[in-house]
Amino acid sequence: MNLVIIFITLNLIYITTGKNLKVNSIETFVFVDIETTGLRQPNITELAMWITPRNCLLDSQDNMNCRMLNKWTMLFNPGKGIERKASEITGLNNDMLDKYDKFDERAGTNIISYLSHYPRPICLIAHNGKRYDFPLIKKTFDKIQLRVPNYILYSDSLQILRELENEDITKAKKKSFKLEDIYERLFHSKPLVTHAAEADVEVLYKIALFYGNDFIDIAEKFASRFSEIDP
C-alpha cells in the first residue's frame, strides 16, 4: 500500500513538474531541421537529420571526420501552398514537390523505424525546436496516429547555446541566437547556404562540435521525452 502511494506521488510530481528528464547517457544525437510552407499553419516540405554517436561529439575526437556520421534527408509534398517568403528562402516551390508523397503514415513509420536502428536513448536536437520544429513534427505524427517510442528524446539547441554563451538577458543590446549568427561568432564567417534543411543541420552540427562535451552536458540537462510534446 505504501509503495502504491509513493508511486502515485512520484508520478504526480513528474506530471506536475512535467519537464526535463536529466538523462546522463544519450547514446545517439540526431541533429534535425525542417523546412515548411511558411509561418501560417505550416506543413513540412523537407526534413534532414544527421545522426551521430555520442563519441563523435567528444572533444578529443577528430570530429569533422567522424567515420560514424549518418545522414537522412527527405522532401515532401506539403499538400498546401508554400508561402512566397518560404519559397524564396528555401528554394522550394509547389511544382517541384507535386509528384512527391506527403508526410504520410509510410514516411512517418520509415523515419521512426530508421531512428530505431541506433543505440538508445536517442536525442533529437533542433534550433528553436521546442517552439517550432518539434511541435510541428509531433503534430504531423499525431495526424497519422504514429506513436513515438519513449527512447526518443529532444533538446533545443537555442536553449543549450543560450546557456553555453552565458546569455546576459539584462543587457540592453541582446546577442542574436539565430543559427547563422551563432555560427559567425564562432567561425568568423556566415554559412554559405541557409534554409535548406541539410545545410542548417550541418551548421548546427558544427556548432555542437565546437562545444563538444559541454554541449552534451547541457543537452542532457534539458532533454525531455518526444512523446510528451503537446503540439
Q: Contact positions toward ligand DCM, by CB under 6 A?
A: 33, 35-36, 38-39, 83, 85-86, 89-90, 195, 200
Rounded CA gap, 210 and 181, in Å? 14
Of the candidates 126, 197, 117, 127, which has an alpha carbon nearest to the alpha carbon of residue 149? 117
Stretch that binds Mg ion, among 27-35, 138-146, 150-158, 183-191 (CB under 5 A): 27-35
Q: Which one among 23, 28, 33, 207 touches Mg ion, defined by CB under 5 A?
A: 33
Does 200 help bind Mg ion (rule: CB under 5 A)?
A: yes
Question: 162: closest CA among 223, 218, 203, 226?
Answer: 218
Residue 36 interacting entry, from Mg ion, ligand DCM, none, C-beta within 5 to 8 Å by type = ligand DCM
Question: Which grid cell sits at 174?
Answer: 541582446
Provide the grid cell at 181: 549568427
Alpha helices, H only, 18-156: 54-57, 84-90, 94-97, 105-115, 133-143
C-beta separation of 28 from 53 below 8 A: yes
Closer by beta carbon to Mg ion, 140 or else 151: 140
Is the Cβ of residue 127 or residue 225 nearer to ligand DCM in the bound state? 127
With CB under 5 to 8 Å by kind, the binding choice for 102 among Mg ion, ligand DCM, none is none
- Mark residues 151-170: x for contact with Mg ion by CB under 5 A, - for none: --------------------
